[in-house]
């Protein structure tokens, strides 16, 4: 695919908020936006300008998109109503407010409706965090499609503008995990007049302003941040500022073409140098304009300073909206992320440029929160997509304007990236000083590679802003997998853990990290997950915060999952697709859970000898046995015998390597008996050995100094009886061929209490 010369980068930006658009005064006591006809009547409105349709409950809080966009349009003088979670089986709810004067704004909600509805294993979720009382069934699958269709049915001719995460990430042909196929651009299927992608404040204001001025909706196709459909007879754009992607038909059939499309689309996401994307769908064409410029500090302050009630709409009564409960006392200080992780949609949707609020704006919001009778003085989170990227920007704007890197921190931190935590540290100190605020926590994830290079920030964070637990996202430990994820190497987590514990000790606190990990990410096979399990074991972590990989539309990792290739390098990538493979990976990630015992055992009992990593896991069992038994009253001595049963009296063995004098005679007996029984019994990789061969091995180990010589000799004297006990058979039967089955092996090794059904079956 030819790569035309780039258009000139955008180096300047209007300092006036939203291009100098005039805004009315802030009504600090403004009621929530209307959700019913009665509320319109109470305001004396005969009609509304814009109707926002959303799959979420309406919460008038800046963490919810409809509140941000609706309040911004209201401030600009437009009349806005919210149609929240309408019954999509009919167009009647779309007529609640009458014919909107300007347009319908359609969004599936804060999440893609399919991710909202289904787990990584494609099972229906038990709740919906964005619905009253977590009720499910309040929005349809592929909500954007259904909502756009009903809007057109209700009032033909009214412009329909789609937006939100679901629409944004499906703006070109994309892999859909739930149907396991490549779907057309949502512009083709939902047929909105315009699709606004990314964060929508700038584009929604321009659409409202220009429609209000009498322009036809087709005239708005020049706006940055929009995608649209061209009919068969409409000419597609051409020129140096256009990239022609492989057609839908090509990417649906050819994985190489799909990778080429993905690679090109991701390299055209810098709003200062991006070119238009053109993709044919049969006889029609989808055009994606360059993204909108990021918001300035003044614009961020304006948006987050609007008169939100910070509460769900009163019509919900006492119903709780789970997503709101999480963020009700939080403050967002920035948006965007320059991490560019392959599996994450934040960079794709919010942008790579960090957009920060001023300190005065943040403190003003905190002061308003303290006046709420329901506020208890505790700020649950002060952060954003990442807690410690506040006011971090490229130090060379002219370079940033031409840059096409997908991550500013991978494979290493860009030397031009400003990583000063100074503004954030000052803000955190100021926030703690707001009258009425008792505690300010950081609950957003911390970017570890940035934080550990600033010990003062670490001390500030640990001393004042961690409530005992701090979230971090190492995601994996295997370097190749981390490379595909665009995450730092495993040493990043180890060093951050060390720095965090040291800072906690200096603060006189006992605190812990809560690491997040992903199972079944492309590139992660069973061996990689075994390595991760060993890593976690050595680090002493038992992660509860685990997610199974979900291929989200537009993400690089979704392209890897679909094609089995890294779209950036075109190298092959192993992918776990079957439910069984995914279940196995999750079991290894949470190897410590009793319900995962059999899956982990099956993985480690594969045919063939253990590899180095698998043996490392196996070698942990002595310590685990000790940990279990030492807490049982009266078994303290037995716990020590069990702990040392793989220790050699010559100092070899594992895991403790005590001196010979510290190994009791009981522990030596257990060690000799353990070797004898292990060699006598069947294993997945070999049959049980004959008695004489076992005695030769044990004698050799005694001569080498690993086993006690006197006890080994005593065993040899009683070998026939010991052999019968080890085999569970009489001597005559034991020397004949014994049928070997996996069931025999499993049932004779497992305690009956763990599997009574297997005992009965045997």
590 and 662 housed in the same domain: no
**Number of domains, the chain:** 3
Show the beta-strand stretches assigned E in 511-663: 512-519, 546-548
pLDDT recorded at residue 620: 73
Q: Is residue 14 domain-resident?
A: no
- What does DSSP assign to residue 5? P
Q: Do the beta carbons of residue 336 and residue 354 sit within 8 Å?
A: yes
* Closest C-alpha to 115, from 187, 162, 55, 27: 55
Share of the chain above pLDDT 70, in %: 90
Q: Which of 172, 202, 227 corresponds to the end of one domain?
A: 227
Q: Is the pLDDT of residue 339 over 60?
A: yes
pLDDT recorded at residue 3: 41
Q: Is residue 631 domain-resident?
A: yes
Instruction: Report the pLDDT averaged over residues 567-587.
Output: 94
CATH code (residue 70): 3.40.50.280
Q: Which three-class secondary structure string do you get for 285-301?
A: EEEECCCCCCCCHHHHH
Q: Is residue 553 domain-resident?
A: yes
pLDDT tens, residue by residue, 171-204 = 999 999 999 999 999 999 999 999 999 999 999 9
Higher pLDDT, 360 or 747: 360
Q: Do the beta carbons of residue 172 and residue 555 sit within 8 Å?
A: no
Show the beta-strand stretches assigned E in 68-206: 80-84, 103-107, 160-163, 174-176, 181-183, 194-196
Q: Is the pLDDT of residue 121 over 80?
A: yes
Q: Residue 743: which pLDDT band, with cuts at 50, 70 and 90?
A: very low
Q: Residue 739: which pLDDT band, with cuts at 50, 70 and 90?
A: very low
Q: Is the pLDDT of residue 346 over 80?
A: yes
625 and 597 housed in the same domain: no
Q: Is residue 251 domain-resident?
A: no
The pTM score is 0.80
657 and 709 housed in the same domain: yes
CATH code (residue 704): 1.10.3210.10
- What does DSSP assign to residue 683? B
Instruction: Write the DSSP string, 1-45.
Output: ---PPPPPP-----SSGGGG-------TTPPPPP-SHHHHHHHT-
Q: Residue 333: which pLDDT band, with cuts at 50, 70 and 90?
A: very high
Q: Is the pLDDT of residue 122 over 80?
A: yes
In sequence order, the 6+-apart residues with CB closer than 8 A to the CB of 367 are 434, 435, 436
CA-to-CA distance for 282 and 320, rounded, in angstroms?
46
158 and 67 housed in the same domain: yes
189 and 121 housed in the same domain: yes
Q: Do the beta carbons of residue 321 and residue 132 sit within 8 Å?
A: yes
Q: Do the beta carbons of residue 706 and residue 650 sit within 8 Å?
A: yes
426 and 454 housed in the same domain: yes
Instruction: Report the pLDDT averaged over residues 463-492.
Output: 95
476 and 453 housed in the same domain: yes
657 and 635 housed in the same domain: yes
Instruction: Report the pLDDT averaged over residues 526-535.
Output: 90
CA-to-CA distance for 312 and 695, rounded, in angstroms?
76
Tokens 């499609």, located at residue: 145
Tokens 């941000």, located at residue: 68
pLDDT recorded at residue 747: 33
469 and 336 housed in the same domain: yes
pLDDT tens, residue by residue, 198-257 = 999 999 999 999 999 999 999 999 999 999 999 999 999 999 999 999 999 999 999 999
pLDDT recorded at residue 603: 81
pLDDT recorded at residue 718: 87
Show the beta-strand stretches assigned E in 520-676: 546-548
Q: Is the pLDDT of residue 759 over 60?
A: no
Name the token pair of 369: 């929160």
- Distance (Å) of CA 178 to CA 54, 112, 124, 188, 382: 22, 12, 11, 19, 35
pLDDT tens, residue by residue, 348-360 = 999 999 999 999 9
CA-to-CA distance for 388 and 67, rounded, in angstroms?
25
Backbone angles phi, psi at 271, to 5 degrees: -65, -15
CA-to-CA distance for 609 and 6, rounded, in angstroms?
56
- Distance (Å) of CA 472 to CA 62, 275, 481, 522: 24, 35, 18, 21
672 and 602 housed in the same domain: no
Q: Residue 611: which pLDDT band, with cuts at 50, 70 and 90?
A: low
CA-to-CA distance for 412 and 579, rounded, in angstroms?
35
Bridge-partner residues for 54, per DSSP?
84, 107
Q: Which three-class secondary structure string do you get for 553-566?
A: CCCHHHHHHHHCEC
CA-to-CA distance for 43 and 26, rounded, in angstroms?
17
pLDDT tens, residue by residue, 10-30 = 655 666 677 766 676 666 778
Largest CA distance in the chain: 103
Instruction: Report the pLDDT averaged over residues 298-312.
Output: 96
pLDDT recorded at residue 18: 78
pLDDT recorded at residue 167: 98
CA 736-737-740 angle, to 5 degrees, is 140
What rounded mean pLDDT belongs to the chain?
89
Backbone angles phi, psi at 413, to 5 degrees: -65, 125
Q: Is residue 278 domain-resident?
A: no
CA-to-CA distance for 112 and 168, rounded, in angstroms?
10
Q: Residue 734: which pLDDT band, with cuts at 50, 70 and 90?
A: very low
pLDDT recorded at residue 731: 46
382: part of which helix (H) or strand (E)?
A: strand 381-383
Q: Is residue 152 domain-resident?
A: yes
Q: Is the torsion defined by CA of 536, 539, 541, 545 positive or negative?
A: negative
Q: Which of 587, 610, 633 corresponds to the end of one domain?
A: 610
Q: Is the pLDDT of residue 108 over 60?
A: yes
Name the token pair of 242: 């256009």
* Closest C-alpha to 159, from 199, 120, 204: 204
CATH code (residue 302): 3.80.30.20
Q: Is the torsion defined by CA of 712, 714, 717, 722 positive or negative?
A: negative
Instruction: Report the pLDDT averaged over residues 633-656.
Output: 83
Q: Is the pLDDT of residue 4 over 70?
A: no
CA-to-CA distance for 203 and 222, rounded, in angstroms?
11
In sequence order, the 6+-apart residues with CB closer than 8 A to the CB of 732 are none
Tokens 């060993």, located at residue: 534
pLDDT recorded at residue 21: 67
Q: Is the pLDDT of residue 754 over 60?
A: no
pLDDT recorded at residue 5: 41
- Distance (Å) of CA 513 to CA 88, 537, 540: 43, 15, 11
Q: Is the torsion defined by CA of 445, 447, 452, 457 positive or negative?
A: negative
pLDDT tens, residue by residue, 680-702 = 888 765 788 898 999 999 999 89
Instruction: Report the pLDDT averaged over residues 416-429.
Output: 97
Alpha carbon 707 to chain centroid, angstroms: 50
361 and 481 housed in the same domain: yes
CA-to-CA distance for 248 and 184, rounded, in angstroms?
6
Q: Is residue 406 domain-resident?
A: yes
Q: Which of 227, 258, 277 corresponds to the end of one domain?
A: 227
Q: Which three-class secondary structure string do you get for 365-393?
A: HHHHHHCCCCCCCEECEEECCCCCCCCCC
Q: Is the pLDDT of residue 634 over 50?
A: yes
How many residues in total does the chain contain?
762
Name the token pair of 37: 């006809």
Task: Please give the residue range of the domain that contains residue 45.
Answer: 31-227
162 and 81 housed in the same domain: yes
pLDDT tens, residue by residue, 133-151 = 999 999 999 999 999 999 9
CA-to-CA distance for 101 and 676, rounded, in angstroms?
86
Q: Is residue 285 domain-resident?
A: no
């Amino acid at each position: 695919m030819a790569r035309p010369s780039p258009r000139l980068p955008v180096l300047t930006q209007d300092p006036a908020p939203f291009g100098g658009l005039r805004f009315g005064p802030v009504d600090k006591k403004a009621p929530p936006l209307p959700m019913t006809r009665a509320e319109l009547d109470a305001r004396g409105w005969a009609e509304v300008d814009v109707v926002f349709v959303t799959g979420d409950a309406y919460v008038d809080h800046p963490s919810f998109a409809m509140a941000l966009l609706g309040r911004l349009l209201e401030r600009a003088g437009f009349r806005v109503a919210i149609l929240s979670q309408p019954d999509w089986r009919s167009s009647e709810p779309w007529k609640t407010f009458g014919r909107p004067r300007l347009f319908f704004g359609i969004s599936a909600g804060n999440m893609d409706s399919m991710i909202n509805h289904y787990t990584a294993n494609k099972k229906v979720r038990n709740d919906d965090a964005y619905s009253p009382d977590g009720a499910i069934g309040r929005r349809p699958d592929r909500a954007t499609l259904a909502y756009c269709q009903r809007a057109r049915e209700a009032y033909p001719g009214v412009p329909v503008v789609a937006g939100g995460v679901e629409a944004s990430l499906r703006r070109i042909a994309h892999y859909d995990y739930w149907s396991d196929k490549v779907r057309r651009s949502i512009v083709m299927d939902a047929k909105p007049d315009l699709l606004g992608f990314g964060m929508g404040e700038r584009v929604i204001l321009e659409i409202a302003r220009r429609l209000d001025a009498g322009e036809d909706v087709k005239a708005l196709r020049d706006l940055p941040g929009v995608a649209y459909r061209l009919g068969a007879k409409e000419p597609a754009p051409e020129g140096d500022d256009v990239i022609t992607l492989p057609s839908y038909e090509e990417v649906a059939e050819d994985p190489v073409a799909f990778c080429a499309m993905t690679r090109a689309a991701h390299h055209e996401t810098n709003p200062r140098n991006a070119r238009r994307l053109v993709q044919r769908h049969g006889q029609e064409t989808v055009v994606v304009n360059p993204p909108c410029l990021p918001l300035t500090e003044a614009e961020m302050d304006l948006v987050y300073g609007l008169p939100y009630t910070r509460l769900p709409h009163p019509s919900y009564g006492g119903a709780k909206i789970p997503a709101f409960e999480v963020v009700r006392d939080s403050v967002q200080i920035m948006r965007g992320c320059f991490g560019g992780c392959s599996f994450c949609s934040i960079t794709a949707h919010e942008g790579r440029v960090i957009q920060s609020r001023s300190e005065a704006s943040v403190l003003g919001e905190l002061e308003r929160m303290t006046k709420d009778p329901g506020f208890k003085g505790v700020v649950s989170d002060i952060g954003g997509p990442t807690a410690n990227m506040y006011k971090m920007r490229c130090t060379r704007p002219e370079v940033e304007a031409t840059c096409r890197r997908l991550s500013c921190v991978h494979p290493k931190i860009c030397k031009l990236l400003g990583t000063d935590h100074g503004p954030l540290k000052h803000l955190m100190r100021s926030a703690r000083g707001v009258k009425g605020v008792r505690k300010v926590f950081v609950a957003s994830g911390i970017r570890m590679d940035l934080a550990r290079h600033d010990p003062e920030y670490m001390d500030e964070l640990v001393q004042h802003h961690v409530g005992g637990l701090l979230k971090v996202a190492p995601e994996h430990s295997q370097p190749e997998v981390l490379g595909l994820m665009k995450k730092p190497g495993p040493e990043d987590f180890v060093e951050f853990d060390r720095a965090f514990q040291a800072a906690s000790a200096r603060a006189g606190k006992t605190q812990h990290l809560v690491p997040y990990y992903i199972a079944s990410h492309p590139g992660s096979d069973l061996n990689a997950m075994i390595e991760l399990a060993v890593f976690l074991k050595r680090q002493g972590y038992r992660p509860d915060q685990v997610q199974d990989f979900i291929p989200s539309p537009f993400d690089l990792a979704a392209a890897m999952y679909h094609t089995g290739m890294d779209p950036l390098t075109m190298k092959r990538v192993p992918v776990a697709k079957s439910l069984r493979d995914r279940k196995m990976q999750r079991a290894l990630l949470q190897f410590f859970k009793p319900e995962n015992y059999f899956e982990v055992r099956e993985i480690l009992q594969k045919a063939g000898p253990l590899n180095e990593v698998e043996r490392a896991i196996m070698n942990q069992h002595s310590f685990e046995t000790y940990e279990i038994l030492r807490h049982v009253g009266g078994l303290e001595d037995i716990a020590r015998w069990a702990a040392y049963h793989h220790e050699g009296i010559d100092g070899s063995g594992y895991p403790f390597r005590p001196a010979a004098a510290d190994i009791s005679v009981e522990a030596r007996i257990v060690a000799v008996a353990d070797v004898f029984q292990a060699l006598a019994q069947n294993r997945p990789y070999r049959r049980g050995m004959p008695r004489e061969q076992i005695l030769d091995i044990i004698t050799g180990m005694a001569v080498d100094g690993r086993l006690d010589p006197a006890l080994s000799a005593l065993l040899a004297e009683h070998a026939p009886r010991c052999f019968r006990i080890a085999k569970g058979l009489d001597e005559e039967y034991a020397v004949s061929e014994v049928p070997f089955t996996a069931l025999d092996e499993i049932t004779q090794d497992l305690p009956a209490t763990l599997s009574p059904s297997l005992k009965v079956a045997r």
